[in-house]
């Protein structure tokens, strides 16, 4: 079972519905017992980083999640803001994240974007750059749906598993051991996103 972590932010229902379409057993929960029972965790999120960290801390789940992910090595997938919260720090609100991956969350560089608007919104191709179980049997020319003003900046490039291009190349997916993240929204990305969620469900803990 996948526990979709409910901390007050995120497209919880759309993720749950996508899992249902794929016959993936998933539950939206903030219940510590449900989280402990789950074989995998999914941390969604949309909105402001500072609010996301505040909500997560107020939920009282940070210690439990840290124990489950870093000690029990339970697989976790962060999506959009949920993935950003796994980084060390964000320029959005100048706030520290969970620090589970070796990256910062930074604002798009307006000078490099030229006339491109912020946020980056819509469909973009991705380029897979390191092996990850999430890309197993992914269809050719994969495209995913993005909505974001900030992106990952990795200190360890080996943790980057995919890049996208918006004015310049940026990391859009990562993996560090049992910790996975995507800046894009698999639940809004049709067949490509379905394959990513299907692959995550098959990851061995």
Residue 124 CA to residue 142 CA, distance in Å, equals 9
Task: For residue 34, indicate whether it is catalytic.
Answer: no
Task: For residue 155, indicate whether it is catalytic.
Answer: no
Q: Three-class SS of residue 142?
A: coil
Task: For residue 185, indicate whether it is catalytic.
Answer: yes
Question: What element of type H or E holds 96?
Answer: strand 95-96
Number of other residues whose CB lies within 10 A of the CB of residue 173: 26
Q: Three-class SS of residue 101?
A: coil
Q: Which residues contact 144 (CB under 8 A, 6 or more apart)?
A: 123, 124, 126, 164, 172, 182, 184, 185, 186, 189, 192, 193
Residue 106 CA to residue 84 CA, distance in Å, equals 10
List 48, 120, 148, 187, catalytic entry: 187
List 80, 120, 148, 151, catalytic entry: 80
List 19, 48, 185, 198, catalytic entry: 185
Catalytic positions: 80, 185, 187
């Amino acid at each position: 079972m996948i526990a979709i972590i409910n901390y007050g932010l995120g497209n919880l229902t759309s993720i749950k519905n996508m899992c249902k379409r794929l016959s993936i057993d998933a539950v939206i929960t903030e219940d510590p017992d449900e989280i402990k029972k789950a074989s995998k965790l999914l941390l969604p999120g949309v909105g402001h980083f500072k609010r996301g960290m505040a909500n997560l801390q107020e939920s009282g789940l940070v210690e439990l999640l840290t124990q489950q992910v870093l000690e029990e090595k339970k697989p976790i997938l962060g999506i959009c803001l949920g993935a950003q919260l796994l980084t060390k720090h964000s320029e959005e609100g100048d706030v520290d994240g969970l620090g589970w991956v070796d990256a910062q969350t930074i604002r798009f560089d307006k000078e490099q974007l030229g006339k491109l608007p912020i946020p980056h919104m819509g469909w973009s191709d991705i380029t897979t750059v390191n092996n990850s179980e999430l890309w197993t049997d992914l269809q050719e020319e994969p495209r995913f749906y993005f909505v974001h003003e900030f992106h990952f900046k990795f200190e360890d490039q080996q943790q980057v598993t995919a890049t996208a291009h918006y004015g310049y190349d940026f990391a859009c997916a990562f993996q560090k051991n049992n910790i996975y993240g995507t800046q894009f929204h698999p639940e809004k990305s049709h067949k490509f996103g379905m394959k990513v969620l299907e692959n995550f469900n098959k990851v061995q803990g």
